[in-house]
Every structure is written in C-alpha cells, then in structure tokens.
Amino acid sequence: MSDDSIEKVSIILSKGSLDGLYPGLIMGNGALMEGIDAMLFFTFFGLEGILDRKMDRIKVATVGNPGMHMPTVIGSLPGMSALATSMMKKEMEKLDIPPVREFLEMIHDGGGEIYACKAAMEMFHYTANDLWKDVDGILTVGEFYEKSAGAQIIFT
C-alpha cells in the first residue's frame, strides 16, 4: 500500500478581498499545523494581502459576489462593503480567526513561505518596499513552479 499523504502545498492567492484571501490563509495555516510544508504565492489582486499599507484594510467584495445573496445594485450602494466587512470581522472574532496581518505572522512564524508574483508586482508598479516586511521574496512563475516541485498546487 502506498503512502498518499500530502507533504507540501503551494497555495496561489489571486483575490484581494477578505472572502478571497481567507480560504488560502486558513488552508496554509492548517497545512502547517498538520506538519505539511506550505508556500503562499500572492498574485494579481491577491497582492493586496501582503501590501503593507493595504493589508489591514481589506474588505468583503459585495458587488458581483454570488455568495452575498444580494442583487449587485444593492451590493454597490455606498457603505454596503463596509457593513459586510464589519459583520464578517465580528463573526471571525467569535471564532478566534485573526486579522490578515496576524494570520500571515502566524504562517510565517510557523515556517510557511510567503511570496509575491513578479509579473503582478510589475503590472501594478509595486516594489519590494511596498510589501509586508516578512514576505520571503518576489518570484517569477518559473521560480514558483520550481519551488512547488512535489507540492499540491491549490488556486484560491
């Protein structure tokens, strides 16, 4: 009988909203807690999660989000995103789910690797100085695949 246990995961985070970032953060932290090596790769709008000046102000996406169960026109009303974000953060606090920065600190301190996508960084005109202090580096897609050798790749 073969051992099919997962030893390594590479998680791609491509969305810059709370509802887009938390699945990857939860999966990365959960992997580390299970003794699985975890690497997080932030690309496109997911970069918001590791931009030092933005990571503490991430909001819930209310427009075009079918999980919100509300018409787009209501989701686009002024204050709806702030209201939804406030409600979600209260529920997360009840479950002891930390804010984005604290969650990333836990992942980093637990041995997880955190990277930014070079192409997305260039496309949005960000530099390494824009990133949270504990980001491990900026990778090309080729470097991401190289570091992901043998890993399960998860796209969120």
CATH at 39: 3.40.1260.10
Residues forming beta bridges with residue 131, ordered by sequence position = 51
Q: Is residue 3 part of a domain?
A: no
Whole-prediction pTM: 0.88
Q: Which residues, including other chains, have CB under 8 Å from residue 95's CB and lie 6 or more apart?
A: none
Residue 135 is part of which domain span?
Answer: 8-155
Residue 2, in any domain of the structure: no
Burial 38-59 (b: 16+ CB within 10 A, else e): bbbbbbbbbbbbbbeeebeebb
**Is there a domain that residue 80 lies in?**
yes
**Count of structural domains within the chain:** 1
- 141 belongs to a structural domain: yes
pLDDT, tens digit (0-9, with 9 covering 90-100), for 98-136? 999 999 999 999 999 999 999 999 999 999 999 999 999
Q: Is residue 139 part of a domain?
A: yes
pLDDT-based confidence at 74, cuts 50/70/90? low
